[in-house]
Amino acid sequence: MTERHLHPDALLVRDLSVSFDGFKAVSGVDVSFAPGELHFLIGPNGAGKTTLVDALTGLVKGTGSASYGGKELLGLRSHKIVRAGVGRTFQTATVFDQLTVLQNLDIAAGLHRPAWRLAFARHGVPAAVDEALEKIGLSDLRHKPAGVLAHGQKQWLEIGMLLVQDARVMFLDETVAGMSADERAETGELLRRIGRERTIVVIEHDMDFVRNHADVVTVMHAGKVLAEGSVAEIQANEAVQEVYLGRTAKGNVHA
């Protein structure tokens, strides 16, 4: 937690709070996400990770501030936030099952097209879509309806959709949960590749995955930021150990 907030393209979150009927799911969070790093959000269930992301993407109301590219994100409607360059995936992969892989990517690419072009059918495959298909490794499945894809493939497709919509900030919610070991490795590679010029924030429980790929880790607990730093720093942090000690029995964290 050093000079990340000074990066000109960083997403700066200051004093962000979210409450449901008086219950503070997120309270007073300060965090900065900068491009070029794989930034992981970890923490026990109910720590407020997803709620934080929900607030940053307009799904729930939050107070405080979250600025990106000179824009205040809080208070904007989700689609406006997406248009500002901040995109996300969901815990349960949400793709359009009835549409093909190609169509999924194509409509995701649509926000950069003028509205009137919507009235026309797709002619050929846009370069960005082709590129994304290549990157997420689904080129061969492009004409398959997204509904038949395997769980991991759906997650990749969601990432691909973020790529074609050219999201500069990507929030990925438990992307590798339920993936096989090979798929995890591939996903990690993918994130590394696309993360060079983007801000990628991953919510994750799988500590092996975190250890293997995280540049920065932010630990949340009970709605607050508990610690932030490199994997090694976090593992050495006493507060984090304390929070997770009670949970080691569940096997979530084993150093």
Partner 1 sequence: MTTKLKSFLPLLGIAALAIALLVVAPAVLSDLRLNNLAKYCCWAMVAVGIGLAWGRGGMLVMGQGVFFALGAYAMGMHMQLESVGDGGIPTFMILYDPLAPLPAFWEPFRSGAFTIAMIVVAPVVVASILGFAIFKRRVKGAYFAILTQALAVALATLISGTIKYTGGDTGLSGFTSFFGYTLDDPLNRRLIFTITATLLVGCLVVAWQLYRSRFGELLVATRDAEERVRFLGYDPANIKLVAFVVAAVMASIGGAMFVPIVGIMAPKSMDAAASIFFIAGVALGGRAALFGPVLGALAVGYGQSTLSEQWPGTWIYVLGLLFIVVTIALPGGIASLATRGAGLLARLRSSDRKAASA
Partner 2 sequence: MDSLIAPFLNGTADGALLLIAALGLALTFGQMGVINMAHGEFLLAGALTAYVTQQVIASTDLSILLALPIAFVVAGALGVVLEATVIRWMYERPLDTLLATVGVAMILRQFVLDAFPSQGVGVVTPDWLDHQIDVFGYAWPLRQLFTILLAGACLSALAALLKFTSFGRQIRATVQNRALAETLGVSTRMVDRITFFVGSGLAGVAGVAISLIAATDSTLGTKYIVAAFLVVVAGGLGQLKGTIIAAWVVGVSTAFFTDWTTGSIAQVIVFVLVVIFLQVRPQGLFTVRTRGLA
Contacts with partner 1 by CB under 8 A lie at 57-59, 77-79, 82-83, 87-88, 90, 94-99, 103, 106-108, 110-111, 113, 117-122, 143, 161, 165
As measured in angstroms, the least distance from the Cβ of 100 to partner 1 is: 9
Pattern 41-60, partner 2, x by CB under 8 A = ------------------x-
| Nearest residue to 187 via CA among 221, 225, 150, 213 | 213
Q: Is the dihedral angle over the CA atoms 115, 118, 120, 124 positive or is it negative?
A: positive
Q: State which residue, 96 or 183, has the beta carbon closest to partner 2.
A: 96
As measured in angstroms, the least distance from the Cβ of 93 to partner 2 is: 12
**Beta-strand relationship, 63-68 and 169-173:** unpaired
The option from partner 1, partner 2, none interacting with 99 (CB < 5 to 8 A, set by class) reads partner 1
Residue 98 is a binding residue for partner 2 (CB under 8 A): no
Choose which of 63, 69, 83, 90 interacts with partner 2 (CB under 8 A). Answer: 90
DSSP string, 171-226: EEESTTTT--HHHHHHHHHHHHHHTSSSEEEEE---HHHHHHH-SEEEEEETTEEE
Residue 96 is a binding residue for partner 2 (CB under 8 A): no
**Beta-strand relationship, 11-20 and 23-33:** antiparallel
Q: State which residue, 49 or 184, has the beta carbon closest to partner 1.
A: 49
Q: State which residue, 106 or 173, has the beta carbon closest to partner 2.
A: 173
Rounded to whole angstroms, the Cα distance separating 228 from 203 reads 14
**CA angle 197–209–66, rounded 5-degree value:** 50
The option from partner 2, partner 1, none interacting with 88 (CB < 5 to 8 A, set by class) reads partner 1
As measured in angstroms, the least distance from the Cβ of 59 to partner 2 is: 8
Residue 94 is a binding residue for partner 2 (CB under 8 A): yes
Rounded to whole angstroms, the Cα distance separating 231 from 31 reads 17
Q: Report the site for partner 2 in 59-78 (rule: CB under 8 A).
A: 59
Q: State which residue, 45 or 94, has the beta carbon closest to partner 2.
A: 94
Q: Which residues contact 255 (CB under 8 A, 6 or more apart)?
A: 235
Q: State which residue, 90 or 186, has the beta carbon closest to partner 1.
A: 90
103-133 burial by CB neighbour count: b if 16+ within 10 A, else e? Answer: bbbbbbbbeeeeeeeeeeeeeeebebbbebb
As measured in angstroms, the least distance from the Cβ of 129 to partner 1 is: 12
Residues near partner 2, by CB under 8 A: 59, 90, 94
